[in-house]
A and B are shown apart, each in its own frame.
Chain A
Amino acid sequence: MSREGVLLICILLSSALPGIIIFGLREESTRLRTGLNLLGASLKLTLVVAMDIGIAQGRVFEVRLLLMPGVEIFLNGDPLSALFATLSSVLWFLTTLYAVGYLEESPNRSHFFGYFSLCVTVTIGIALAGNLITFLLFYEMLTLTTYPLIIHRGTEKALLAGRNYLVYTLAGGGLFLFGVVWLQSIAGALDFSSTGLPVDLLGKYHTELVLIFALLIIGVGVKAAIVPLHGWLPQAMVAPAPVSALLHAVAVVKAGAFGITRIVLDVFGIENVLRLQLLPSLTIAASLTIIYGSVRALQQDDLKRRLAFSTVSQISYIALGVGLADQSLALIGGLVHIVHQGLMKITLFFCAGNLAETLGIHRISQMNGVARRMPLTMAAFTVGALGMIGIPPTVGFVSKWYLGLGGLASGNWWVLAVLVVSTLLNAGYFLPIVTAAWFGKQAGPWPQDRKFGSLETNWMLLLPPLVTAFIIMAVGAVANARFSPLAWVRFIVREYGI
C-alpha cells in the first residue's frame, strides 16, 4: 500500500479508534474521553489538510480492498471528496468541542461520543468513497450510527422521531441498494470518474438507466430531504443540539446532497445525464423543495424546527446547482454551497443550542431582547442568518450569486425567480428573529437562567459559533483567494471540462 493509501486509512481510523475506545470507557472518565475526542478530531483535521495539499500537488490517493470477487472497497481522495472531507473534519472539531460543553452533566456520554465518532468516520468514508459500492456501504452505516444519536434522550418523542428516521432512510437505502446492484449488473463495478458511464450503454439500456437514475436519486434524496422525502428531518430535531448541528451541516443531509452530486457528475457523467435528459426533473424537484421548505419555515415558532425547514430549503441549492450542471457557473454555485451551507447552518444550530442550554429558550416568541443577555451568541446567529439570506460579504451571497449567474447563462429565467423568492422568504423568516432579539423588549424572566461567571455561557459553547461566524465572514470576503472553498470548487469543476 502506498503512503497516500495509508494516509486515507489513517484518516478513517483517527476517529474510528477513539470511538471504539470511548465505548469501553466508564461514564466518569470525562477527561480521558474529552482528551481522546479532541485528539482524534485534531489528528483527523491535520491528516485531511495534508491530503488536501497532496491533492493540490497532483498526488494520487487510493486504497483498494477486495470486498467480494468483482466488488472492491475503493477509497479515493479526489478534489470533490477533499472538499467534503475538509468541511466535515473542520466542523467535527468544533462540534466535538461544543458537544463536550453541551453534554457536560447528561447521562450516557460514553455512548453518545462513541457513536458521534463513528458517525464522523462514516461521513468521511462517504467523502472518500471512490465507487458506488463503497459509497453505499458508508451511506448505510451512516443510518446505523446516527440513529442512536437521534434517540439519545430516550424519550417517547425521540423514539418516534428515530422510528420515522429509520422508516425513511431504510426504505431509501433499500431503493438505493437496488439501483446500485442493477447498475452494476449493466455496467460492472465502475469507479467514480468525470466521464461517467461508457457512452455505448446509453443506447442499449436507455429505459433501465433512467429507472436506475431515479432509484439512486430517490435513495440519496431521502437523506438530502428533497420534498416529499423530507418528513423525517423536522422531527429529528428532538436530538441534542450538537447532533442536530452535525446532522444538518455535516453528516446526514450533506451526505445526501453529496450523493446527488456524485451520482450526476461521477457515476452517470454530465454528458450522459444530459443525453438522457434527466436534469430538468432534478432541477424542478430542487426548486420546489427550496420554495416549500422556506414557506414551511415561516410558519414555525419552534426555533429548531424553523432551522430544520430552512435546511430542507437550503440543501436543495446544491441539488439545483447540480441540476444545472451543464453551466459551470451554476455547478460552482451548487458545489460551493456544500461548504457554505454547512458553515452557516452549524452556526445557527450552535446558537440555538446555546439559547436552549443557557436560558431554556426553545421558541422564537421567547427570544425578545435576548441579545442583551447573550450578545456574542446572537451576533454569531445574526451573521449566520444574514448569510442564509445571502447578504454580502457573507458566504451565502457567493453561492446565490453563482447560482443566479448559472441560471441566467443557461437561459432558465425561472431559476432566478426561484432564488429571488427564496431570498425574500429567507429574509421573512430570519429577520424577525434577529430584530426581535436585538431590539425587542424582554417580556419576562427567562425560562431558566444559568450563570457562567463573566461569560454569557460556557466557553465551550460560545467559542464554536464565534469561530464559524468568523469563517462565514472571512471566507465570503476573500472568496477569490487562492485556497478559499470557491477557488477549490473552481479547481474541481475544471476537471469536468464544461
Chain B
Amino acid sequence: MLIFDADAWIICPIVFPLAASIFFFLSRRTGPVAAPVAALATGVSIIILLRQLLLFGPRHYYIGGWQAPLGITLRFDGPAVLMLAMTGLTGIGITLYARGYFSFRIAAPKRVGRHERQERFFWPLWMMLWAAMNGLFLSSDIFNLYVTMELVSIAAVALAALSGKPASQIAAIRYLLVSFLGSLSYLLGVVFLYKTYGILDLDMLQDIAGAAPGTRVALALITIGLLLKTALFPMHFWLPPAHANALAPVSAILSGLVVKGSFYLLFRFWFEVFSGAISIGALNMLGILGAGAILWGALQAMRQQRLKLLVAYSTVSQLGYLFIAFPLASLEGNMKVWGAVIFMAMAHACAKSAMFMAAGTIYLHIGHDRINELVGIRAYLPVTALAYAIAGVNLMGLPPSGGFIAKWLLLSASFNSMQWWWGVVVMVGSLLASVYVYRVVCQLFIIPEGYTIKKQYPRSHLLEWPAFTLALISLLLGLFAPYPLHILTIGSSNVATIIPGGPP
C-alpha cells in the first residue's frame, strides 16, 4: 500500500473536484454531463472520510511524505469532516440545481449562446471553488490556508461576475478587492506569527502560542482579514450586492458555503490555536458585532423590495448568530457552543442555498423577483414555494429545524454562563427573521380569487426538487442532532471532554 494507503483518502475531496475542474476547463462540453458524477464522487469520498474518522479517529496526512515544518500537512477531525459534509451535501444539491438552471435557460429562445457560455465557465469555476473549500477545511498549515482562501475568493469572484450584468460585475470587483484586502491582512498576521515562532503548522502553534504581543497582533490581523471575508457587520457592505446579483446557483454557493469557510477558520483560530491569547473584551466585541449583524441584517431584509436582496441580507443577519457564540464559548462548556456553531452553519448552508435556488427558480419563471408581485407562485411552483417556506422555518429557528437546535444551544449557553442578554438578542433576531420570512411566504402562498395561471411552463424537476430536498434536510436536521454533535467531539482538542453519555 505504498502509493495509496488508507490515509490518502484525505486528499480525495480535494483532488476529485480539482481534477474535474481542470477537465471541464479543457473540454468544456463535458461539464454539464460529468459534473453530477464528479459531485457524487466527491460526496462518496467525504462519506469514506467520515467513516474513517469514526473508525480510527482524527488523522494527519503529510503530502509527499514531507513532515511539518517543511511539508504541507492535511488533517481531518470532527469539525473539519462536518464542514466537508456540509459542503458536500449542499454542493451536490447545487450541482443538480445548476444543471436544471442552465438547461432551462438554454431552452429559452433568447440569448442561447450567452447562456451556454456561462454554463461552460460555471462548471470549472464551481469545481475549483469546491476543491479549494475542501482544501481549506483540511489544511493544517496557516500559509496553505492563505492559498486555499485566495483560491476560494478568486473562484467565487469569477462566479459572481458570471451573469455578465453590470451590477453583478461591479459587485464582483468590489467583492474581489474586499477579499484581497482580507487575505493580505491575514497574510500579514501569518508573517507576524512566523516571525515570532518560525512555525506554520496549526497543531505546533497551538502547543506553543501564548499571549505574547506578537501573537496578539497576529491574531488581530488574522481576525480582521477573516471578518472581512465573512462579512460580519459592519463589514458586510459588499455581500448583499455580490450575492443578490449573481446567477441563482452562484448565489447559493456564495451565501450557503463560501462565507462559512472563513468563519470556520476564525472559530478554530480563536478557540483552538490561540485560545491562550484571547481576552474577554475581544470576545464581547465580536459578540456585539454579531448582535449588530443579527439586528441590522434583519431590519435591512425587512425593507428590501427584491427577493434576492432580501435573502442576501438575511445571510448577513444569520451570520451574526455565529458570532454570538464567541462570548458564550469563553465561559460556558465549549461543547454547547461548538455544537451551536456547527449546527447553525450546517442548517444555514442547506436552508440558505435552498432559498436562493427557490428565488432563482421563481425568477426564471416570472422574469423578476419583486416581492410585492410574487402573488400566486404556489399555483404553478408548489414545490418551490414550499421549499422556500421550509427554509424560512429554519431561519426562524422553529423546531424541529437545525436552526432551532442551534438557537436552543445558544440560549442555553447564555443562561448557563449568566449572560442572558445574548439570549435576548437571539430571540429578537428570530422574531425579526419570522417577519422577513413571512413577508415573502405570504406572497407566495396567496392565490387571489379568480386567479388563473397565465402561462404554462415546462416542468423542470431539477429546478424544484434539489431546493426542496435541501430545505427538508435543514428542517429535519434537528431530529438527528446527537450524531453531528458526537462527530464534533472527535479529535477537536477543546471539545473532547464534554459530551455526557457518549454517542447515541
Contact = CB atoms under 8 A, between A and B. Distances in A.
A184 B412 contact: yes
B434 A185 contact: no
Contact of B399 (A137, A154, A182): A137
Nearest to A148: B445
Interface in A117-171: 136-137, 140-141, 143-144, 148, 151, 154-155, 159, 162-163, 166, 170-171
Given A154-B445, A162-B442, A182-B420, A69 B431 contact: no
A181 interface: yes
A66 interface: yes
Contacts of A69: 335, 482, 485, 499-501
Contact of B427 (A154, A166, A178): A178
A154 B448 contact: yes
B310 interface: no
A141 B399 contact: yes
A182 B340 CA distance: 17
Interface string B396-424: 10111000110111011001100010011
Contacts of A144: 393, 398
A71 interface: yes
Interface in A310-324: none
Contacts of B64: none
A174 interface: yes
B48 interface: no
A140 B430 CA distance: 13
B103 to A, nearest CB: 25
A136 B449 CA distance: 36
Nearest to B504: A66
Given A68-B485, A69-B499, A137-B399, A170 B434 contact: yes
A22 B237 CA distance: 45
Given A66-B504, A159-B446, A71 B408 contact: yes
A151 B446 CA distance: 8
B217 interface: no
Which residue, of A67, A162, A182, has the highest number of chain B Cβ atoms within 10 A?
A67
A174 B393 CA distance: 14
Interface of A is mostly: helix
Contacts of A68: 339, 405, 408-409, 481-482, 485
B481 A67 contact: yes
Given A68-B408, A68-B485, A144-B393, A166 B499 contact: no
Contacts of A108: 447
A177 B411 contact: yes
B299 to A, nearest CB: 17
Nearest to B409: A68
B9 interface: no
Contacts of B409: 68
Given A70-B500, A141-B398, A171-B431, A181 B482 contact: no
B62 interface: no
Contacts of A182: 415, 420
A147 to B, nearest CB: 9
A162 B434 CA distance: 13
20 contacts: A66-B501, A67-B481, A67-B482, A68-B339, A68-B482, A70-B500, A71-B408, A137-B399, A140-B404, A154-B449, A170-B431, A171-B431, A173-B398, A174-B430, A177-B411, A178-B423, A181-B408, A184-B412, A184-B415, A185-B416
Given A69-B500, A154-B449, A170-B434, 4 more contacts: A67-B481, A68-B485, A162-B442, A182-B420
Interface of B: 335, 339, 393, 396, 398-400, 404-405, 407-409, 411-412, 415-416, 420, 423-424, 427, 430-431, 434, 438, 442, 445-449, 478-479, 481-482, 485, 499-501, 504
Interface of A: 66-71, 108, 136-137, 140-141, 143-144, 148, 151, 154-155, 159, 162-163, 166, 170-171, 173-174, 177-178, 181-182, 184-185
Which 7 pairs from chain A and chain B are nearest by CB?
A185-B415, A181-B411, A154-B447, A137-B399, A174-B427, A66-B482, A68-B481
